[in-house]
């Protein structure tokens, strides 16, 4: 340790002694950085008393929640834009490199420990920083004395290989290229502040971790680069693409509150019976108008706009800090057989007529009120988000002008390109532009639900999709799952 470093430590120690003396209390110094900051803030609060418990809670929350992007500054490694110059799908090829972002925490590392790399998947790597602070990466690193890393997927976040997201420039957005990035990272990374250590895969065990798409990703990584990564943990990996994956909602059907499930199925059946069974009659327009969506032109856009509530089950989490209670709000509305919102009284008679037209005349007394509550729920969660635009502009999936935007702000294009190009059916026509695919209507999410809550008729069966373009070395092992149903929910409008 140099003289300057020793001098810095001495100054820091002197400062601590002075602070402690001023507060008439000693400090514990054998703490990690987060706990030390909390201790300092507690002393500060004692010297600036807060008598309002609510204000104290707010200050505690603000002081105990560090800015993770400050705590873990983003680093970059220059990686090749094109790892596969012998593959014609990447023509014209590129010899350029681009900055791939990553974040790391070496606070648990000891010599001989593994490097644990979490693949960020189809979102900004910054969204994964809680895993580095206190989640699975932190837990694995602590248990193994390892070094934790979050690695951003090419094109997502700010890891841009190309100047825009035009379809031509998205040709390098493949699982093959991204998996090669992760292998290249392990072989070449030099962690800032630890340059004196060789922490590459040639001298250290590397373990990959990922969930969902990233789960299958790290499984592919382990298969393709077993000499680089010693192991991979695929959490909820999705190794197979399935067309019309209705089983996605089976968890809601089986485990959501029973009253909520039955109400969802019956009201969905009412909607389907009108949109499909009475297509061409005035009931379709009357249904849209009852929901306040009378100016929405297309019926599939209407069905998509009112269908998001049941998807909220995915937002439930054991951790209260990240738990989303929207699903409970949805179920509380639909489950009640009482009219919850007096404002819907004006359409009560129309709701009864729609329930009858949808095939449930025998249950109209309670289903009409549930339909009214459903209408109010959609009004509060969907309709109110559309301001200063037409309803078509807010809710359609057929806005060709929007879909032609391809600057770096249009990150909605990325996952759509991946599942269209790599994981879609080979029977589809060639993808000339992303707009071609989106205008087929495959972006829409039509409701489909049965009249009775039984597995046999919960939704129609569709054949499984065969492979189109998956990592070449593992094409016979099955593709990652298509998630068009989720993309429909993440409408760019």
Domains and CATH numbers, the chain: 3-65 (no CATH), 70-235 (3.40.50.1820), 248-395 (no CATH), 400-489 (no CATH)
Per-residue pLDDT band for 314 (boundaries 50, 70, 90) equals confident
Quote the mean pLDDT of the chain: 79
pLDDT of residue 64: 61
Give tens-digit pLDDT for 95-112.
999 999 999 999 999 999
- Separation of alpha carbons 206 and 208, rounded Å: 7
pLDDT of residue 63: 53
- Separation of alpha carbons 150 and 68, rounded Å: 12
**412 pLDDT more than 90:** yes
pLDDT of residue 391: 95
- Separation of alpha carbons 159 and 74, rounded Å: 11
pLDDT of residue 310: 87
- Separation of alpha carbons 350 and 212, rounded Å: 43
Q: Which residue has the higher pLDDT, 426 or 295?
A: 295
**67 pLDDT more than 60:** yes
Pick the range with the lowest mean pLDDT from 89-103, 233-247, 459-473: 459-473
Report the pLDDT averaged over residues 304-332.
Answer: 89
149 φ/ψ angles, rounded to the nearest 5 degrees: -140, 140
Q: Which residue has the higher pLDDT, 488 or 378?
A: 378
Residue 474 exposure: Cα atoms within 13 Å on the Cβ side: 22
Q: Express as a percent the part of the chain with pLDDT over 70.
A: 73
**194 pLDDT more than 90:** yes
* Cβ(144)–Cβ(114) below 8 Å: yes
Pick the range with the lowest mean pLDDT from 198-212, 241-255, 278-292: 241-255
Identify the DSSP state of 108: T
Q: Hunting for tokens 């069974």 — which residue is that?
A: 277
Q: With b meaning 16 or more CB within 10 Å and e meaning fewer, what string describes 135-172?
A: bbbbebbeebebbbbbbbbbbbbebbbbeebbbebbbb
Strands 97-105 and 115-119: unpaired
pLDDT of residue 424: 58
pLDDT of residue 430: 35
**43 pLDDT more than 80:** no
**146 pLDDT more than 70:** yes
**475 pLDDT more than 60:** no
Q: Which residue has the higher pLDDT, 144 or 477?
A: 144
Report the pLDDT averaged over residues 363-376.
Answer: 96
Tokens standing for residue 326: 């929207």
pLDDT of residue 484: 32
Report the Cα 477 to chain-centroid distance in Å: 25
Strands 115-119 and 147-151: parallel
Per-residue pLDDT band for 453 (boundaries 50, 70, 90) equals very low
Report the pLDDT averaged over residues 247-266.
Answer: 91
What Cα–Cα distance (Å) separates residue 98 from each residue in 87, 104, 116, 155? Answer: 20, 19, 23, 10
**117 pLDDT more than 50:** yes
* Cβ(103)–Cβ(73) below 8 Å: yes
**447 pLDDT more than 50:** no
Q: Which residue has the higher pLDDT, 114 or 403?
A: 114
Secondary structure class of 336 (helix, strand, coil) = coil
Report the pLDDT averaged over residues 214-235.
Answer: 96
Tokens standing for residue 221: 């990584």
Pick the range with the lowest mean pLDDT from 11-15, 78-82, 383-387, 435-439: 435-439
């Amino acid at each position: 340790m140099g003289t300057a470093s020793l001098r810095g430590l001495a100054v820091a120690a002197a400062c601590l002694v002075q602070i402690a003396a001023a507060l008439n209390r000693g400090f514990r110094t054998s703490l990690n950085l987060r706990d030390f900051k909390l201790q300092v803030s507690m002393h500060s609060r004692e010297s600036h008393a807060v008598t309002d418990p609510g204000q104290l809670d707010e200050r505690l929350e603000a002081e105990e929640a560090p800015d993770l992007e400050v705590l873990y500054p983003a680093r970059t490694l220059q990686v090749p834009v094109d790892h596969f110059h012998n593959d014609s799908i990447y023509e014209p090829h590129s010899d350029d490199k681009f900055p791939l972002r990553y974040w790391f925490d070496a606070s648990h590392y000891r010599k001989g420990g593994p490097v644990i790399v979490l693949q960020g998947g189809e979102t900004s790597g910054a969204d994964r920083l809680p895993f580095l602070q206190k989640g699975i990466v932190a837990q694995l690193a602590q248990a193994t004395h390892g070094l934790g890393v979050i690695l951003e997927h090419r094109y997502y976040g700010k890891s841009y290989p190309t100047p825009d997201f035009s379809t031509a420039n998205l040709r390098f957005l493949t699982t093959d290229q991204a998996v090669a990035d992760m292998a290249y990272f392990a072989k070449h990374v030099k962690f800032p502040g630890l340059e004196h250590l060789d922490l590459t895969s040639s001298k250290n065990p590397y373990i990959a971790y990922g969930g969902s798409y990233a789960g299958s990703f790290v499984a592919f990584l382990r298969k393709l680069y077993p000499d680089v990564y010693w192991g991979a943990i695929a959490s909820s990996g999705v190794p197979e693409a399935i067309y019309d994956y209705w089983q996605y909602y089976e968890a809601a059907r089986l485990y959501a509150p029973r009253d909520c499930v039955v109400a969802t199925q019956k009201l969905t059946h009412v909607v389907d019976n009108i949109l499909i069974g009475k297509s061409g009659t005035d009931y379709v327009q009357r249904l849209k108008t009852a929901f306040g969506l009378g100016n929405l032109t297309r019926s599939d856009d209407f069905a998509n706009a009112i269908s998001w509530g049941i998807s909220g089950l995915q937002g439930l989490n054991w951790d209260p800090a990240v738990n989303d209670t929207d699903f409970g709000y949805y179920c509380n509305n639909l489950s009640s057989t009482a009219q919850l919102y007096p404002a819907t009284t004006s359409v009560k008679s129309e709701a009864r007529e729609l329930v009858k037209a949808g095939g449930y005349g025998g249950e109209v007394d309670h289903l009409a009120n549930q339909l009214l509550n459903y209408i109010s729920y959609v009004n509060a969660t969907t309709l109110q988000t559309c301001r200063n635009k037409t309803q078509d502009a807010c809710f359609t999936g057929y806005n060709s002008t929007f879909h032609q935007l391809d600057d770096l702000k249009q990150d909605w294009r990325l996952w759509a390109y991946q599942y269209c190009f790599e994981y879609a059916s080979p029977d589809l026509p060639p993808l000339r532009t992303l707009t071609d695919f989106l205008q087929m209507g495959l972006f829409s999410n039509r409701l489909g639900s049965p009249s009775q809550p039984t597995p046999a008729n919960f939704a129609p069966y569709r054949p499984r999709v065969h492979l189109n373009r998956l990592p070449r070395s593992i094409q016979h092992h099955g593709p990652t799952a298509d998630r068009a149903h989720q993309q429909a929910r993440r409408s760019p409008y």
